[in-house]
Amino acid sequence: MDEDMGLTQEEVKERRRATDLVLHAPSFHQATMHQVMVAVKCHLWLNITEIREKEKVFLLGDPISHSGLFGEVVNSVVDKFNTAETQSAVLKQFMPRRAREPPMPAFTPRAHLAHRKETSKRSE
């Protein structure tokens, strides 16, 4: 394909390097912006005592409700949870639970020695 376009091997390598750079740059910038946003958030919370009251009211004064913060996402998760809970309750009515087996006694050296003594007395 490259020969049909008349490109030399060096030109192909250069194009590949340029393409890699173009494809890598947006993800690098996105990661950098994420790091900057995390740093700003940490700076805000670490220095919240130094913020003036007027700025605190602007930054922190809005009422918080789950529908205002996340919108329909929270409502859909709550609905899915409620649906799964009702389905689970219906299934529990029709499917009997298996009885639990009693737990095995814990192994201790004293219990092992006592067991050996009992078995040796029985064999005598």
Residue 27: its pLDDT value, please? 77
56-66 mean pLDDT: 61
3-state secondary structure the chain: CHHHHCCCHHHHHHHHHHHHHHHHHHHHHHHHHHHHHHHHHHHHHHCHHHCCHHHHHHHHCCCCCHHHHHCHHHHHHHHHHHHHHHHHHHHHHHCCCCCCCCCCCCCCHHHHHHHHHHHHHHHC
Q: Model-level pTM?
A: 0.28
Split at pLDDT 50, 70, 90, the class of 97 is low
Q: Any idea where the domains of the chain sit in the sequence?
A: 1-62, 63-93
Split at pLDDT 50, 70, 90, the class of 124 is low
88-106 mean pLDDT: 70
User: Has residue 99 got a pLDDT over 70?
Assistant: no
Q: 4 versus 118: which is more confidently predicted?
A: 118
Split at pLDDT 50, 70, 90, the class of 80 is confident
Query: Tens digits of per-residue pLDDT, 4-54?
Result: 567 889 988 988 888 887 777 777 778 888 888 888 777 777 677 766 777
